[in-house]
Amino acid sequence: MTLQDSSTPKIVTAAMVVIGDEILSGRTQDKNVAHVANCLNEVGIQLREVRVIPDIEQEIVDAVNFCRNKYTYVFTSGGIGPTHDDITADSIAAAFDVSIDHHPEAMKILTRHYEVSGIEFNDARKRMARIPDGASLVDNPVSKAPGFRLENVFVMAGVPVIMQAMMQSILPELSGGAKMQSRTIGASMPEGKIAKDLGDLQKKFPTVSMGSYPYFKQGQVGTNLVLRSVEAENLDLAIDELVTILTAQGAKFDLND
Amino acid sequence: MTLQDSSTPKIVTAAMVVIGDEILSGRTQDKNVAHVANCLNEVGIQLREVRVIPDIEQEIVDAVNFCRNKYTYVFTSGGIGPTHDDITADSIAAAFDVSIDHHPEAMKILTRHYEVSGIEFNDARKRMARIPDGASLVDNPVSKAPGFRLENVFVMAGVPVIMQAMMQSILPELSGGAKMQSRTIGASMPEGKIAKDLGDLQKKFPTVSMGSYPYFKQGQVGTNLVLRSVEAENLDLAIDELVTILTAQGAKFDLND
C-alpha cells in the first residue's frame, strides 16, 4: 500500500437503510450490513450509519432523504419484490418526488426471464419492473428482478444472496476515497489496564481511530485493540508505540493486519 | 392467550441505538438487535427502529434525542467501558443536558468488585462509575460495571453476554402493551404466485401485518408468509383464509406458531 500524499485524504461516506419488519421483529438476523461494510471498505468508502426501519412509506422517505443529504452514498436493502409489502420503489420515488412506472428495460429482462422459466408474468411480478423516473438499473444475476440507482441512492434486494450479487454489480460504479486501513492487536489483558496509555496514545495520534473491545474466552479476559486510519504512516507509527506499551506491561499479544 | 378486549390495544414502541464503530466497520456482526427485539416482543413492546451510529458524541446525542421523543423506550448498546472511546454515558448526559459524575452506588459496586478480584481500581475503571445525574443503575451480574436508566432511555453494554444479562435486569421495569402475535406459513411456491391473493387478504385485514419473504433452499423456491397482529381473533381469521387460499392453489405448506 502506498502512502497517501500529503494533501488531505478524500473521505467518502455511506449510510445503509435496511427496510425490514422481519429484522425489527427479531425473526431474521441481518447479514447484509457487515457484507456492505466490508465491500465498501475495499473501495475506500466508510459506512457511517445504518438505519433499520419498518415497511412504512413515510419512514423510508424520511430515512432516505436524511441520509442522501448527509452521506456520499446510500444503500437500501429490502422491499423490492412482487408482494403488497414491497413498497421501496414507490417510497424512493416519493422521496425524490419523481414519478414511477414500469421501466422498459426491466420489463424486457423480466419478460424474457419468465418466458424461459415457463412461469406466468402476472401483474404482481410486473410490480418488480416499477422503477422511479430517472433511475438506472442494477443487475440482478440471481433472480433477474433488478435493483436501481437514483442519484446517490442504490436500491437492493433484502435476500442476502441477491443483495450480495447486486453489490458486486454496483461496486464498479462507486468513486471511493482514501482507504481505511485497520490493524488489530489481541492482548491478553483487561482493557482497564491499558485504558490510560491507550487514551494518551489516542491524543498523540488524533487521525488514528483507536477502539478497545474486551472479550471473554475460556475464562480468560482479553482486549482487542483496533487501530484504523486512512493515513498508513501514522497508523504504523501508532501500532509501533502500542507494541512498545504492551511489551513494557508484560502483556502477551498478537498483531493481525 | 386471551383475546384483547374490544377497546383499542395499547401499543408500546421502542428504538434501539447501537453505538459501535466496530459494527459499521464490518469487523463485528451485531447480535444484540435480534435479542432485544425478541425480549421486547415477550413483554408487548414493538421495536420500531434501529440506528447504528459511530462513537461520536453529537451522533449519539442526535440519535438518542430523536428516538426518546418518538418512541416509548430507547435502548442503547455499547460504549460504557473504561477506555477513551467509551463515551456513551457522557453523551447521554449531554443529550439530557444534565451533569455527570461518579455515582456513589456504582463506585461501591466497583470498589468491592475490584477488591475481591485483587485488581487495581484505577482512574480508567472509575470512568465506568460515571452516571448522568438523575439516572438509576441497571444491574450487571456478569462484569459488575452497571448500565443505567434515565427517563425512558436504557443504556447497556455492547458485549452480547453482558447486554443480555442487563436486558434481563431491565425487563421487569418495562410496561408493555398489547402483545404482537406472529404466525408463519412456509409455502412451497414463489411469492409472485401468491402475491395478488395476499394483497387482497391484507386489504381485508388491515390490522394484521402480512409479510412475504422468499427463500431458496436446495434449488427450491419457497415463501415464508408472516402474519402479525395484536388482535388474536383477527390473526386467526386471516390465517384460516390464507390456508384456504394456499390449499386452493395446491401449494404444500407448514404452519408454525
What DSSP assignment string belongs to B190-228? -HHHHHHHHHHHHHH-TTSEEEEEEEEETTEEEEEEEEE
B139 phi, psi to nearest 5 deg = -65, 140
CATH code at position B187: 3.30.70.260
Run of H or E including A87 = none
Q: What is the mean pLDDT of residues A82-93?
A: 97
**What does the CA dihedral B166, B169, B174, B180 come to, rounded to 10 degrees?**
70
Least confident of A97-111, A204-218, A227-241, B152-166: A204-218
- The DSSP string of B226-241 is EEEES-HHHHHHHHHH
B84 touches chain A (CB under 8 A): yes
pLDDT at B5: 52
Contact call for B195 and A226, based on CB within 8 A: no
Contact call for A198 and B83, based on CB within 8 A: yes
Contact call for B47 and A25, based on CB within 8 A: yes
Q: What are the distances in angstroms from CA B29 to CA A30, A31, A39, A139, B108?
A: 9, 8, 14, 27, 34
Contact call for B47 and A31, based on CB within 8 A: no
Contact call for A25 and B37, based on CB within 8 A: yes
Our measurement of the distance from residue B61's CA atom to the centroid of its chain's CA atoms, rounded to an integer in Å, reads 19
Give the span between the Cα atoms of B256 and B226, in whole angstroms: 10
Nearest to A52 among B41, B50, B120 (CB): B50
Domain identity same for A26 and A84? yes
Closest A-chain CA to B181? A25
Residues of A in contact with B159 (CB under 8 A): 214-216
Task: Judge whether B249 lies within some domain.
Answer: yes
Residues of A in contact with B212 (CB under 8 A): 81, 83, 85-86
Domain identity same for B207 and B86? no
Q: Which of left, alpha, beta for B32 (phi over 0: left; psi -120 to 50: alpha)?
A: alpha
Q: Which residues contact A170 (CB under 8 A, 6 or more apart)?
A: A75, A138, A147, A149, A154, A156
Run of H or E including A72 = none
Give the span between the Cα atoms of B153 and A189, in whole angstroms: 32
Give the span between the Cα atoms of B70 and B62, in whole angstroms: 12
- Reduce the DSSP state of residue B61 to 3 states and report it: helix
Contact call for A49 and B122, based on CB within 8 A: no
Contact call for A202 and B84, based on CB within 8 A: yes
Domain boundary residue among A156, A173, A190?
A: A173
Give the span between the Cα atoms of B140 and A243, in whole angstroms: 32
Looking at chain A from residue 108 to 147, which residues have their Cβ under 8 Å from any Cβ of chain B?
Answer: 119-120, 122-125, 127
Give the span between the Cα atoms of A109 and A146, in whole angstroms: 8
Residues of A in contact with B30 (CB under 8 A): 30, 33
Contact call for B29 and A34, based on CB within 8 A: yes
Cα distance from N-terminal residue to C-terminal residue, chain B: 13
Give the span between the Cα atoms of A191 and A146, in whole angstroms: 47
Domain identity same for B152 and B248? no
Domain boundary residue among A173, A198, A226?
A: A173
| Structural domain total, chain B | 2
A56, three cell numbers: 412504512
Indicate the residue type of B112: R
pLDDT at A99: 98
Domain identity same for B132 and B243? no
Q: Is pLDDT above 90 for A26?
A: yes
Closest A-chain CA to B201? A84
Domain identity same for A129 and A100? yes
Residues of A in contact with B120 (CB under 8 A): 193
A196 touches chain B (CB under 8 A): yes
pLDDT at B4: 46
Domain identity same for A41 and A164? yes
Give the span between the Cα atoms of A96 and A37, in whole angstroms: 25
DSSP state of A128: G
pLDDT at A8: 83
pLDDT at A37: 97
Domain identity same for A132 and A239? no
C-alpha angle with apex A51: A63 to A77, nearest 5 degrees? 85
Residues of B in contact with A33 (CB under 8 A): 23, 26, 30, 52
Task: Judge whether A194 lies within some domain.
Answer: yes
Q: What is the mean pLDDT of residues A103-132?
A: 96
Closest A-chain CA to B214? A159
Task: Judge whether B223 lies within some domain.
Answer: yes
Beta-strand (E) ranges in B8-167? 13-19, 46-53, 73-77, 100-102, 130-132, 136-138, 147-150, 153-156
Domain identity same for B31 and B79? yes
Our measurement of the distance from residue B39's CA atom to the centroid of its chain's CA atoms, rounded to an integer in Å, reads 7
Percent of chain A with pLDDT over 70: 97
Give the span between the Cα atoms of A130 and A123, in whole angstroms: 11
Residues of B in contact with A49 (CB under 8 A): 24, 51-54, 59
Domain identity same for B187 and B128? no
pLDDT at A256: 80
Residues of A in contact with B31 (CB under 8 A): 29
Q: Is pLDDT above 70 for A5?
A: no
Q: Is pLDDT above 80 for A152?
A: yes
Task: Judge whether B105 lies within some domain.
Answer: yes
| Mean predicted lDDT score pLDDT of chain B | 94
**Among B250, B248, B193, residue whose Cα is nearest residue B225:** B193
Domain identity same for A156 and A198? no
Residues of B in contact with A58 (CB under 8 A): none
pLDDT at A6: 55
Domain identity same for A128 and A188? no
A27 touches chain B (CB under 8 A): yes
Whole-model pTM: value is: 0.94
pLDDT at A1: 43
pLDDT at B2: 45
Q: Is pLDDT above 80 for A215?
A: yes
Task: Judge whether A6 lies within some domain.
Answer: no
Domain identity same for A135 and A206? no
What's the burial of A96, exposed, middle or buried (CB within 10 Å: 0-12/13-18/19+)? buried
A180 touches chain B (CB under 8 A): yes
Q: Show the low-confidence residues of chain B (pLDDT under 50).
A: 1-4
Task: Judge whether B5 lies within some domain.
Answer: no
B31 phi, psi to nearest 5 deg = -125, 0
pLDDT at A2: 45
pLDDT at A218: 79
What is the span of the domain harbouring residue B223?
181-256
